[in-house]
Structure 1
Amino acid sequence: MFADPRIAYLGPTGTNSETVAHRFGERWERPQWLPTSTIAQVLHSVAQGEADYGVVPVENSLEGSVTTTLDLLWRLPDLYIQQGLILPIAHVLISHCSEMNQIQRVYSHPQALGQCQYWLEEHLPHVPWLPTRSTSEALQYVQREPAAAAIASPRAAELAHLPVLAVDLAADNLTRFWVIGTNPHRQGSHTTLAFSVPENAPGALVRALAHFAQAGINLSRIESRPTRRSLGEYFFSVDLEGAQCQPRIAQALAALAQETSCLRNYGSYTIAPVEMPAALAE
């Protein structure tokens, strides 16, 4: 492992992923930053050894899970969660238009558009939403289209020297990020795993989850995702409170392995809040 690691994240400059990546990278003197065009590229860069760590969003308080992250972790081998980080998300509307009625298109990442849907439906009900690969990428359209607007962070607007037309587009907005690496951890406050059951039969999922209930282990998140192999075939992604080094959790995981056809243990980790900085150096 490099003394100063390579850290991949969804770019370009000004994204919330970059903010979290810089916060995680503060522990090293000179980390190498690797902005990518998609969340998938972040995870592939770690899996292929091109990055030591990847910072990816996994869950938003308004829009729910980031399914790309969950699905790729299931598919890519030997990736583990190193840390969880929670970032307050501030979305602003960025445009050269001086009035709302001048806006003809709104660009942003699909997650940001979903998080701001109620504001958009109230203030721009007839304006189409156009997806981009990141919130910062949406600013490119504002720079070349006079009637365009973008949803991005205040920092992205400042870095691009673009005017902000409206603020606070989505209240109580938090996103949880995972730092992904190749080193499995056994200690922390949470453990994440994913599994599939041998057959789609009554009680199969209940039998698998019963081991956690019997051990008094709280599940803070559980959801199903398609395996992409057959219609109706799913895997289950689960967060539980506690570390796998604890005997009761270790025993529950061993029992779970007997009930599943495939079990992926992404490791144990801690979760910490990230304060939104006023600005970050480029």
Structure 2
Amino acid sequence: MFYFRLDFSVVSTKTNNLVTSLRLKATEVDITIYGSNDVGLFIRTSHLNTGFRPSTLFDFSAWINYIRTFFCYTPPPNVRFYDDCEKYEIELLKETIGDVNVLYVSRQLTDVMSREVLKQFNAPRELFLNRNPFEDICQIQQIFIQNYKRIVFDDVHSLEDMLLVNSEKAELSHPTTQKQFNQFLKHWIRGSNPRLQRMDLLIDSNDFVNGEVYLNGIRCMEMSEETKRGIREKHELLEGGMVEIRRKDGTPAVIATYDGHRGLNIYLIVLA
């Protein structure tokens, strides 16, 4: 694989001819917004890095059109919002960018700005939300019930929030408790969260002072080391504990664990 670093211009005939002759095609586009914008292009046969700082939305729009035209890029881009993005009108950015693949909303944004970003870019394939910007519980729960491919949420979440998750994959980074996870598992076994294929979460180490109770009342089945090894490789898990559980309808899943520096990392992975 070759690595290129080139300076592009939307008006350069030489650059356009080079891109066309090399048949460079972008496989992913990242837009980072924090008072300036960077667009990273990832090419199938090489890795191409180029950055720019558009001073106006017109300039930004020209770059987006250039990428779509000369790099044959039609999928939605990934968009990341950080602090100091208030200089841009989010509604105009939405009109320029269109739909997005991955939406990342940093905890550095104000609550008002976070809500505006979520309002305008309301249908990403994947959502990374570092902080809950809503005062009303019902509003954050409206986020959980969306059918994302993946949601990553790094703030306090309740059992009700967990049961409302409608994504295929959920990563809840803020520590939960053994009791809350145990309650969630029992609901899942009875049929909750039908779209869920994987949930990653963390139980704080301080919650284990009086012992382990997160699997209390759960029928767990032992697994062969070969089966465990295959699941770890497929799902990129570190060495740790693993047991099999089943829903009432017979759907198999595993509970994998790994002792991390913040506590016990837990992975619920549906196998069917």
TM norm structure 1: 0.22
In proportion to residue count, which structure has more strand? 1
Whichever of the two has the greater Rg, that structure is: 2
Q: RCO greater where, 1 or 2, for CA within 8 Å and sep 6 or more?
A: 1
TM norm structure 2: 0.23
